[in-house]
Amino acid sequence: MEALVSFVTTHLTGLLSKDAIVFIISLMPILELRGGLLASSLLGVPYLRAVILCIVGNLLPIPLILLFIEKIVLACEHFGPTQGIARKLREKVEKNQASIQKYDFWGLVLFVGIPLPGTGAWTGSLVAGLLHMPRKKSFLAIIVGVLLASAIMSIVSYGVLGAFLH
Closest alpha carbon to 72 in 12, 122, 142: 122
Q: What is the pLDDT of residue 161?
A: 46
Least confident of 19-33, 56-70, 85-99, 148-162: 148-162
- pLDDT higher than 90, residue 120: yes
Q: CB within 8 A of 142, min separation 6: which ones?
A: 59, 62, 108, 112, 121, 124, 125, 128
Question: What local confidence, expressed as pLDDT, does residue 1 receive?
Answer: 76
- The type of residue at 1 is M
**91 pLDDT exceeds 90?**
no
Q: Can you state the angle between helices 18-27 and 32-43, rounded to 10 degrees? A: 160
Per-residue confidence (pLDDT) for residue 163, from 0 to 100 = 54
The answer to whether residues 154 and 160 touch, using CB atoms and an 8 Å cutoff, is yes
Q: Calculate helix-pair angle for 135-158, 47-59, nearest 10 degrees.
A: 150
pLDDT value at residue 162: 43
Alpha helices per DSSP H over 28-134:
32-43, 47-59, 62-77, 83-113, 121-130
Pairwise CA distance, residues 42 & 44, whole Å: 6
Residue 101 reports pLDDT greater than 60: yes
* pLDDT at residue 166, rounded to an integer: 42
Task: Round to whole Å and give the CA distance between 100 and 107.
Answer: 4
Q: What is the mean pLDDT of the chain?
A: 89
The pLDDT tens digits for 10-55 are: 999 999 999 999 999 999 998 999 999 999 988 999 999 999 999 9
pLDDT at 160: 57
The three-class DSSP label of residue 44 is coil
Alpha-carbon torsion angle 148, 151, 153, 159, nearest 10:
-160
Quote the pLDDT of residue 151: 92
pLDDT: which is higher, 103 or 49: 49
Q: What is the DSSP letter of 80?
A: G
> How far from chain centre, in Å, is Cα 15?
24
